[in-house]
C-alpha cells in the first residue's frame, strides 16, 4: 500500500496543496510548516512523484532555458542563477541548445512537456517565439528586444556603460578606436553597436569600416579580429563585443608579443568572472547579470502562476569598470 500526499497532509495537519508546496520548497510556505511536512513525509516514507504532481496540476514544473551554445562561457554563466532561482519557486531547469534547424527547436521544447521557456538565444529572425506562442507555451525573453511576438522580457541598456567608457578613453587620449562587433542578426549586437557609435560621435570620433570587424560571440572571433587589426589598422583601443571575444583578442595580443594597455587597450562587455582575475584584469562594461536572471525567473514563474496579465519588461543599466587593459596615451592631457 503506497503512501500518498493525503496521508502526509493528515499527519502534518495541513492541506494536500501545502504538502506539495512544502516539499518543492516553495518560498511562500513558512520554514516551520516545511519542517512539519518533511517530518511527516519522512515518518511515512513518502516520496512525492513528479509525474503525479504534473498530472494533478495539469502541467509540469519544468522550465526550459534555451541557449545558443553551452560551451560558451557567457551561456554557462546563466545556468547557476537560473537553476537556483527556479528551484526557489519550485520549478526545475531544463537545458536546451539551438543545435539543428530552427523549426525543430520549438517542437523539441513543446515535446519536452515544459511549463514555460526562457529564451536566452540571440537571433532576431528565429521562428521559435511564434511557434511557442501558437502552442500557448509561455516564455520570457532574456536579453533580447525587438522581436515580433510580445512576451515578458529582461534587457540590458548598453548606453550608460558605453558613454562612461568612451568618456574615460577620450580623457586617456584615445582617438584611433576599433570595434569587434557582435552578429548583426542579434538585438544585443545591434544595441551595443548603436550605443558605441553614438557615444564616440559625441566626442567627434568616427568608427570607419577598416577599424570594424564582426563575428560570433566567441574567443575565435576576438583572436582573428585582433590579429587582423594589429596587422592592418593599429588602433590604440578596441571595443570587444563581449568578454569572451575580448579574451580571444587578449590571446592574439599575447601571441604577437604585445602588452594590453601599453600597446593596445581592450574593453569587454558582461564583466564575467575571468575579467576579475588578477591575471586578466579586463576593463569591461558591467551589469547585474545575476539579478537579471533572478528577475527573468520571477517573470516566467509569475506568468505560469497566472498572477500577471500585462507583459512586463525589466531593463538593467550598465556601467564602465576600469581595470588594467586600458592605458593612458602619452598625448593625454598634454
Q: Could you say whether residue 125 binds a second copy (CB under 8 A)?
A: no
Q: How far apart are CA 275 and CA 287, in angstroms?
A: 13
Site string for a second copy, 34-73 (x = CB under 8 A): ----x--------xxxxx--xx----x---------xx--
Question: Which CB atom, from 1 or from 111, has the smaller least distance to a second copy?
Answer: 111
Q: Which of 44, 110, 205, 328 binds a second copy (CB under 8 A)?
A: 110
Question: Which CB atom, from 59 or from 175, has the smaller least distance to a second copy?
Answer: 59
Q: Which of 10, 26, 83, 203 binds a second copy (CB under 8 A)?
A: 83
Residue keyed to cell 564583466: 271
Site string for a second copy, 147-186 (x = CB under 8 A): ----------------------------------------
Residue keyed to cell 497566472: 306
Give the DSSP H or E segment for 214: strand 212-214
C-alpha cell at 74: 557567457
Question: Which CB atom, from 59 or from 203, has the smaller least distance to a second copy?
Answer: 59
Q: Which among 73, 107, 3 is positioned nearest to 272, based on CA atoms?
A: 73
Q: Which among 122, 188, 118, 125 is positioned nearest to 151, based on CA atoms?
A: 118
Q: How far apart are CA 8 and CA 3, in angstroms?
A: 8
Extended beta strands in 127-186, E state: 139-142, 152-156, 177-181
Q: How far apart are CA 266 and CA 86, in angstroms?
A: 36
Question: Which CB atom, from 92 or from 145, has the smaller least distance to a second copy?
Answer: 92
Q: Which of 9, 11, 63, 94 binds a second copy (CB under 8 A)?
A: 94
Q: Could you say whether residue 1 binds a second copy (CB under 8 A)?
A: no
- Count the neighbouring beta carbons within 10 Å of the beta carbon of residue 101: 9
Which stretches of the chain bind a second copy, using CB under 8 A?
Answer: 23, 38, 47-51, 54-55, 60, 70-71, 76, 79-80, 83-84, 92-95, 97, 104, 107, 110-113, 135, 219, 247, 250-252, 254-255, 274, 277-280
Amino acid at each position: 500500500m503506497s503512501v500518498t500526499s493525503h496521508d502526509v497532509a493528515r499527519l502534518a495537519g495541513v492541506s494536500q496543496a501545502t504538502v506539495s508546496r512544502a516539499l518543492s520548497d516553495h518560498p511562500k510556505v513558512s520554514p516551520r510548516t516545511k519542517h512539519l511536512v518533511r517530518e511527516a513525509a519522512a515518518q511515512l516514507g513518502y516520496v512525492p512523484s513528479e509525474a503525479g504532481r504534473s498530472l494533478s496540476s495539469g502541467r509540469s514544473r519544468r522550465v526550459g532555458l534555451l541557449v545558443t551554445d553551452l560551451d560558451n562561457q557567457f551561456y554557462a554563466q546563466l545556468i547557476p542563477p537560473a537553476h537556483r532561482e527556479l528551484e526557489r519557486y519550485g520549478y526545475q531547469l531544463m537545458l536546451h541548445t539551438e543545435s539543428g534547424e530552427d523549426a525543430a527547436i520549438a517542437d523539441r521544447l513543446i515535446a519536452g512537456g515544459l511549463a514555460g521557456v526562457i529564451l536566452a538565444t540571440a537571433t532576431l529572425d528565429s521562428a521559435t517565439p511564434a511557434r511557442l506562442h501558437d502552442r500557448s507555451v509561455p516564455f520570457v525573453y532574456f536579453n533580447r528586444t525587438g522581436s515580433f511576438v510580445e512576451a515578458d522580457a529582461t534587457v540590458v541598456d548598453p548606453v550608460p556603460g558605453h558613454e562612461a567608457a568612451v568618456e574615460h578613453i577620450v580623457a586617456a587620449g584615445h582617438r584611433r578606436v576599433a570595434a569587434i562587433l557582435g552578429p548583426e542578426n542579434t538585438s544585443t549586437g545591434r544595441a551595443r553597436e548603436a550605443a558605441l557609435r553614438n557615444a564616440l560621435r559625441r566626442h567627434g570620433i568616427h568608427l570607419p569600416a577598416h577599424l570594424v570587424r564582426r563575428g560570433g560571440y566567441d574567443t575565435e572571433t576576438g583572436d582573428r579580429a585582433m590579429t587582423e587589426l594589429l596587422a592592418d589598422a593599429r588602433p590604440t583601443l578596441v571595443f570587444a563585443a563581449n568578454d569572451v571575444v575580448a579574451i580571444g583578442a587578449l590571446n592574439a595580443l599575447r601571441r604577437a608579443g604585445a602588452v594590453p594597455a601599453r600597446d593596445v587597450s581592450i574593453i569587454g562587455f558582461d564583466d564575467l568572472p575571468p575579467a576579475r582575475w588578477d591575471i586578466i584584469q579586463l576593463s569591461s562594461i558591467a551589469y547585474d547579470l545575476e539579478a537579471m536572471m533572478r528577475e527573468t525567473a520571477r517573470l516566467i514563474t509569475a506568468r505560469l502562476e497566472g498572477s500577471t496579465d500585462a507583459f512586463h519588461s525589466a531593463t538593467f543599466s550598465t556601467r564602465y569598470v576600469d581595470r588594467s587593459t586600458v592605458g593612458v596615451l602619452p598625448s593625454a592631457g598634454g
